Amino acid sequence: MPDPGNPVEQPDAAQFPLLPQLTLDCIILGFHEDQLRVLLLRWKDTQEWSLPGGPVRQNESVDAAAHRILKERTGLDQLFLQQFHVFGDVVRYNREEIKKKLKHVIDPEKWYERAVSIGYYALVDYSKVSPTPDAFTEECQWWDIKNIPQLLFDHNHIITVALQALRIQLSWQPIGYNLLPEEFTMPELQRLYETILGRTLDPRNFHRKIQGLGIVERLETRRKGGAHKAPYLYRFNKAQYEAMLTEGNLSFS
């Protein structure tokens, strides 16, 4: 019989009672060397990987729990964090297989029969993250999104759904703040979009679209070093960017 107060033997469960049968899973995405990367954890004494996540405490909001988990894994505050889906099937994965694989870390009697998971994705500045494992894992590492291993639980599925949500979000919200350095070139922004969408875009159309949204402003300076035709640097217009985050790109005028 699983202990409903203590799903995964959280070290601080006595101090922080938990919401039963509810967990979060976090897709933490960074952009580096033209790759979209996701932060994964390797469980102790195994070659098994999973997404970061964990339960919600009785005394914190669901969003606060997501921020806490992200802070613990990355060291970062104030991430761009988005709920994208609730994974609520009765049977989400083969529980017996998981209990067996992780029995040296978690007592098989201590798992819930079922947990509902709320999925969040976070877009972070790759260079500022200090990847940090949790109590059950010994390694926290970036993986190229195109090269994810077979993960524990239903976490490959969760990543697939997160990327669908992110692609749809691209069509009505700006993206890039947090993922790019403060100053960037138009080709760099385009590569970020192409990486998320998984296809190439026409540079002229892309430039026109982004300029039309009013979310970037061109600086007087160009990317240093090298070619005569070095590309201009841009930065986000934070006010317009924030407005679009709230309003969306309502294209009916």
Total residues interacting with a second copy, rule: CB under 8 A: 41
Site map (CB under 8 A) of a second copy, residues 110-149, x = contact: ---xx-x-x-------------------------------
With CB under 8 A as the contact rule, the residue among 13, 19, 98, 148 that binds a second copy is 19
- What is the residue whose two structure tokens read 């892309």? 206
Q: What's the sign of the alpha-carbon dihedral 169, 170, 174, 175?
A: positive
| Residue ranges in 25-54 that form contacts with a second copy under rule CB under 8 A | none
- Taking a C-beta distance cutoff of 8 angstroms, is the pair 196, 146 a contact? no
DSSP state of 24: E
Stretch that binds a second copy, among 16-24, 68-76, 98-106, 230-238 (CB under 8 A): 16-24
- Taking a C-beta distance cutoff of 8 angstroms, is the pair 67, 79 a contact? yes
Q: Is 198 in the site for a second copy (CB under 8 A)?
A: no
- Taking a C-beta distance cutoff of 8 angstroms, is the pair 12, 117 a contact? no
DSSP state of 177: T
| Residue ranges in 79-108 that form contacts with a second copy under rule CB under 8 A | 83, 85-86, 88-90
Stretch that binds a second copy, among 42-50, 59-67, 103-111, 227-235 (CB under 8 A): 59-67
Task: Give 77: exposed, middle or buried? Use CB within 10 Å, 0-12, 13-18, 19+.
Answer: exposed
Q: Is 60 in the site for a second copy (CB under 8 A)?
A: yes
DSSP state of 231: P
Site map (CB under 8 A) of a second copy, residues 168-197, x = contact: x-xxx--------------------x---x
Phi then psi for residue 117, to 5 deg, are -120, 135
State the residues that interact with a second copy by CB under 8 A.
4, 19-22, 56, 58-63, 65, 83, 85-86, 88-90, 113-114, 116, 118, 167-168, 170-172, 193, 197, 201-202, 205-206, 209, 248-253
